[in-house]
Amino acid sequence: MTKHENSLTTEQIDALVEAHMGTSIDTPMREGAFDRSDEEKVAMIAEKFTDIMDILGLDLKDDSLRGTPLRVAKMYVKEAFAGLNPDNEPEMKLFDNKYGYSEMLVERDIKVHSHCEHHFVPIIGKCHVAYIPNGKVVGLSKLNRIVRHYAKRPQVQERLTRQIAEAMMEGLGTEHVAVYLEADHMCVKTRGIEDDHSSTVTMAFHGSFQNENTKRAFLEATK
């Protein structure tokens, strides 16, 4: 068995995928995942994607298709999966809470563009996040950047929700954090069951947001 082969049968793999099973809060990464430069990754992915297109029977001499492998490779490394690289994690610069603001702060309707790690097709949705300051505050755009960073990798929505919450708690120095994420999964809409109408909602509540009144106030604010 090579390092690329899996000991699970096709039926077992299909069962895990249909169960939407994840492994942990951490994105599964192999040892040495960051040994190669982005440029090396782009070149290698372009070569592999050329093979995929050739296997599918596409004519790579065609003007429309000739540049596709490189375009896909750049998209994967520089855009769609840029959140895999820890060097791209946004810095959480905190400021003194000079206004004395002590209520929840809600950032609504943050766009989410991610990819399902089971089929590598898009997950598209929106995220609402909130925190209650603990002496420090952060620039609002940093909350959007946290969501974007963790979305830009192969994901399952449950893990993405938890990663956003954990990053906010660590970066803001407060346990009082809430996350609400609603998304459409193209692996549901465009394959398999092909359900155009369903969406998936996940939530994370920590600290004071576990209080039913505070939780209710946050959920009302997201409407």
| CA dihedral over 151, 152, 155, 159, signed as positive or negative | negative
Catalytic residues: 116-119, 157, 185, 187
Q: Is 136 exposed, middle or buried (0-12, 13-18, 19+ CB in 10 A)?
A: middle
Residue 122 tokens, joined: 């898009």
3-state secondary structure of 115: strand
Residue 28 tokens, joined: 């599964």
Side chain identity at residue 117, one-letter code = E
Pairing type for strands 154-155 and 136-138 reads unpaired
Give the closest residue to 92 by CA, choosing from 151, 163, 172, 161: 172
